[in-house]
Structure 1
Amino acid sequence: MTGLSGKIIAELVAEVGPVWQARQDARLSDRPRRRAPGAGAKYKLVFVDRLLATLVHLRHSSTHDVLAAWFGVDRSTITRAINEIRPLLADRGCRVEQGIRLRTVADVVAYLDSVRQTALMDATEIRVRRPTVKRAGRHQFISGKSRQNAMKALMITDAQGRVLFCGATTRGSTADITQARQAGVTDWLEHTMAVEILTDAGYQGLGAQTCGQVLTPMLKHHKKRLERMPGIGELRVAQRKSHARRRVRVEHGIAHLKNWGSLARHLGCRESLDDTVRAIAGLLSDQQRIDRPQRKPVAALTASAM
């Protein structure tokens, strides 16, 4: 039902369980006790069931009523459980190595600088509910690309398409390059010179701002101009194809992210979308690192067979 292996779920129980219990104890200790210890209503939904309900909701975008009937509790119990577990999953970050997780753009830039790896960056739009008529700035949610009400999330992956960061959600009308600047990509790249990030044409201009650390495809030129320069047209086409061939893995990473029903079309509150995106990105990174480890290159497989 969740699409995750038993090993990942066991790690989630061991990692998130103590944090959830600590928050519950802190919440109870913040107010004066009015009942004797052990009095009052008992939890009908233990932590493991709360975690599973949240994972199923994120995976299939199941309604709270369906989950309530499945677990035999009230709908409000499921709503409370999801609102408690989802922020804890979002705060975990994305797994890159055993014991190392990336939670912010600054963590991603520092990690890429230390391992000297190429990263891929792109933005993805997630359809959301139409804001109410009386909401100020309602038109800002309309995407200029899809002409639909959407919000945009920034995604950074490694060269194999494994997610390193996903978040920094903004309204759908925000340009890709503006979102990257607001997320602090250019600010953190100023502190390093060894990071290479491949992007699409929507980030034209970041290359000059980051001293060439952000690589964008070459601009298209008019055919009549290329006719005056023999061989230049073929060279530019070959360079654009090579760039697209290297950058396509981030599109695959976005496709894996959209396999989760909550991001195929977000039907919940827009305010909770950022937590949903970061929670699913962390779960997807666990899935990519544990359930689907990196495959050997074709050359290495041929050499081992010989």
Structure 2
Amino acid sequence: MIYQTLRQYPELFQAMTGLTIPAFDALHDEIKPLWQEAETATKRSGLRLRRIGAGRKYGAGFRERLLVACLCERRLLPTAEIAALFSIHPSTVNRYHYSLRDLMQKKSASYRIGKQERSGLTELVDAFPVLAELDSVPLGQERIK
């Protein structure tokens, strides 16, 4: 998982997300129950074709979703490059960001998720060479050489 790898590099984690690791963990602990309530309310509203829980399970945990949303809020990378970093589709990046955006904006004043723009992934890798070492191969798949 990208979160576990980035956690080993606190300076890089803070530069990418705008949060220290303890601040990110505190934000996670505050937002997760609110997000779960919102998800439950969304699932219970309207007509459903399947029962709750019958669909496909989430591929990423909540920490990964929050990390993606922090990167989107920070505006360091375009959506396509965040998707490549996490080995997910760009529409998934947008869905993760949209589902957490309002909750994060309510809490961002206390956590200061600053916005800092970069032109792309190459500029970010130049600034933080350790990013080139991150293993972005999806679980259960082999690295193509």
Note whether the superposition's TM-score is higher than 0.5.
Answer: yes
Hey, which bits of structure 1, 4+ residues long, moved more than 2 A?
A: 57-61, 92-95
Matching residue of 2:46: 31
1:79 pairs with 2:94: yes
> 2:79–2:94: 8 Å Cα contact kept in structure 1?
yes
Identity percentage of aligned residues? 29
Kindly provide the amino acid, as one letter, of the partner of residue 94 in structure 2.
T
Identify the structure with the greater helix proportion.
2
2:30 aligned to which of 15, 32, 35:
15
SS at match of 1:92: helix
Mapped partners of 2:107, 2:18: distance in 1: 19
Mapped partners of 1:55, 1:7: distance in 2: 14
Matching residue of 1:42: 57
Mapped partners of 2:66, 2:52: distance in 1: 26
Mapping of 1:152-191 within 5 angstroms? none
Mapped partners of 1:91, 1:23: distance in 2: 14
1:52 pairs with 2:94: no
> 1:44–1:73: 8 Å Cα contact kept in structure 2?
no
Deviations 1:273-297 (A, max 9, x none): xxxxxxxxxxxxxxxxxxxxxxxxx
SS at match of 2:49: coil
Tell me the TM-score normalised to structure 2 length. Answer: 0.61
Kindly provide the amino acid, as one letter, of the partner of residue 53 in structure 2.
G
**Where does structure 1 lack aligned partners over 5 or more consecutive residues?**
96-100, 102-162, 164-256, 266-306
1:4 pairs with 2:19: yes
10 and 34 in structure 1: CA distance in 2 versus 1, 3 angstrom threshold: same
> 1:45–1:73: 8 Å Cα contact kept in structure 2?
no
Mapped partners of 1:17, 1:61: distance in 2: 24
SS at match of 1:91: helix
Matching residue of 1:68: 83
Mapped partners of 1:59, 1:93: distance in 2: 11
Mapped partners of 1:63, 1:93: distance in 2: 21
Q: CA deviation at 1:60?
A: 4.3
SS at match of 2:57: coil
Deviations 1:82-122 (A, max 9, x none): 11212111122633xxxxx9xxxxxxxxxxxxxxxxxxxxx
Kindly provide the amino acid, as one letter, of the partner of residue 17 in structure 1.
K
Mapped partners of 1:83, 1:74: distance in 2: 14
Q: Which has the higher contact order (CA 8 A, sep 6+)?
A: 2
| RMSD of equivalent CA atoms | 2.5
Structure with larger Rg: 1
Q: CA deviation at 1:78?
A: 0.4
38 and 85 in structure 1: CA distance in 2 versus 1, 3 angstrom threshold: closer
Mapped partners of 2:73, 2:52: distance in 1: 35
Mapped partners of 1:37, 1:90: distance in 2: 28
Matching residue of 1:90: 105
Kindly provide the amino acid, as one letter, of the partner of residue 32 in structure 1.
L
Count of paired positions: 103
Mapping of 1:1-306 within 5 angstroms? 1-92=16-107, 94-95=109-110, 260-262=115-117
Kindly provide the amino acid, as one letter, of the partner of residue 24 in structure 1.
E
Identify the structure with the greater strand proportion.
1
